Amino acid sequence: MTFTEWLDETRERYREDGPRLGTAESLYELYVGVLRRINARWERGTNVYDEGWDVLVLLDGCRVDLLAEVASEYDFLNRPDELRSVGSSSIEWLEGTFTEARRAEMRNTAYVTGNPFSHRVLDDRDLQLLDEVWTYAWDDEAGTIPARPITERAVDVARREEPDRLIVHYMQPHFPSVPDPLGGGMNADTLGEGEGWYDPWDRLRRGELTSERVWESYRENLRYVLDEVALLRENVDAGTIAISADHGNAAGERWVYGHPKVPHRHIRRVPWYLTDAEDERTLEPTLEREDARSRSGRSDDDLEGKLSALGYR
């Protein structure tokens, strides 16, 4: 964003929100804009292809301390570690992971994903298999892709395709929270009304939600997806499963909220837990993969609508 664009947006905020809130919002955007410029020069993290795993489970937007809070509730989360992510956002993680230098490894990787940014980075030809579950199992009412379709497709791909490496990208605990939605923010009934809305991190910054309320919803969304990870472990064979995240979130530390593309400790540090799995066949998937649509056949409006529902405006 140029300085002229920032001034134009500032004038618009003054008209819509008044001088006090408009000034606060514009100063925050200016601050984050400076950090974004620094981010371009920030040290890159660890590419997950440099680590040893057969199945990589990505919990979208999961903080290290959030996972540590509930780890004792899941017996497979008993080997905690962490690493620095290659990105501060999902698209940065995708671009920093699936690089030209990793082409040989990518051809032996199946990627089952609920994250719509896969559309902007990957093509069917890049991987052994690209299953964009978000294109056909999206829940409009929840405003996100639920965890169960991801689990079903991952189990089916693991059994049928037997890839050398399998990446399973859940959309949770990224807001919206499936078990504990926060009203007035990330819900489907607020979309498309033209009145503007903010995700829970923005609402926290604006003082509309308390940090305790946001964290509670965030934590419940993590438990929701970890129950699916437990089910996944019962239905795939893997010597090593890594449970990690593409990025974390800032909750006001250093006056940053959510996960803008900035060099922030709580955004770039991600969990790294190792476990194993054995297929006990406690789940028989019924969800079939829809034929992949060509890029030219996909609706950009549909994609942007899903990204908007996830808080990307």
pLDDT tens sequence across 267-292: 999 999 999 999 999 999 999 998 65
Which single residue is written with the structure tokens 């169960």? 148
Whole-model pTM? 0.83
pLDDT tens sequence across 162-184: 999 999 999 999 999 999 998 64
pLDDT value at residue 191:
34
CA distance 89 to 85: 9
- Distance of alpha carbon 264 from its chain centroid, rounded? 16
| Start-end of H helices in the chain | 3-39, 64-70, 90-97, 103-106, 118-121, 147-161, 200-205, 211-233, 265-268, 300-309
Inform me whether the pLDDT recorded for 20 exceeds 70.
no
CA dihedral 217, 282, 164, 228 (to 10 degrees): 0
Query: Cβ(53)–Cβ(209) under 8 Å?
Result: no
Average of pLDDT values for 176-193? 60
Q: Which residue has the higher pLDDT, 115 or 265?
A: 115
Q: Copy the structure tokens of residue 115.
A: 């994250």
pLDDT band at residue 258 using 50, 70 and 90 as cut-offs: confident
Which residues lie closer than 8 Å to 3 by C-beta, 6 or more apart? none
Q: Copy the structure tokens of residue 220.
A: 């419940």
Peptide bond into 179 cis (omega under 30): no
CA distance 210 to 205: 9
Nearest to 217 by CA among 198, 200, 230, 229: 200
pLDDT band at residue 21 using 50, 70 and 90 as cut-offs: low
CA distance 109 to 111: 6
CA distance 156 to 285: 6
pLDDT tens sequence across 101-112: 999 999 999 999
Query: Cβ(253)–Cβ(269) under 8 Å?
Result: no
Average of pLDDT values for 134-153? 95
CA distance 61 to 84: 13
Percent of the chain with pLDDT over 90: 65
pLDDT value at residue 189:
37
pLDDT tens sequence across 66-108: 999 999 999 999 999 999 999 999 999 999 999 999 999 999 9
Quick one: which H or E segment has residue 111?
A: strand 109-113
